[in-house]
Amino acid sequence: MSTKTHFDAAFALKKPCGNCPFLKDGAIELAPGRLQSIAKGLLDDDHSNFHCHKTVYNERTGGSMMENDEGETKYQCSHKESFCAGAMILMEKMGHTSILMRVGRLMGAYRPDDLLTHKTKVIEPEQLGLQSLNK
């Protein structure tokens, strides 16, 4: 029997992927304003997390698209996705962590020091027009 939990998958990434949208160099190009929208959503909603695009769109770990009663198509999590390391580093730089990041830290699944060794690779909050809570 496996002892792995959703937290193990969620916090599996220890550094941003090569084209993480939160990288200073080599980031995947997003629609104008999309990165700011993602970051603002993470700040505005403590329950919100951003999954790594490489684990969402992946046969082994990704979920599926489901249509609801209103005809809207939404992503249904598999709970095997990992949180985006770049997004978590940005949140740490801003002095803000999600509820799951805080619970993960208490459970020993999330160790910010593992990620923060890569903090110089990730954009600064000011580049998105956001202010750090650490200042």
Burial of 125 from C-beta contacts in 10 A (0-12 / 13-18 / 19+): buried
Burial 7-35 (b: 16+ CB within 10 A, else e): eebbbbbeebbeebbbbeeebeeeeeeeb
Residue 44: which residues within 8 A CB-CB, separation 6 or more?
A: none
pLDDT recorded at residue 1:
41
Residue pLDDT, tens place only, 93-103: 999 999 999 99
Residue pLDDT, tens place only, 34-77: 999 999 999 999 888 898 988 887 778 778 888 888 888 888 88
Q: What is the value of pTM for the model shown?
A: 0.85
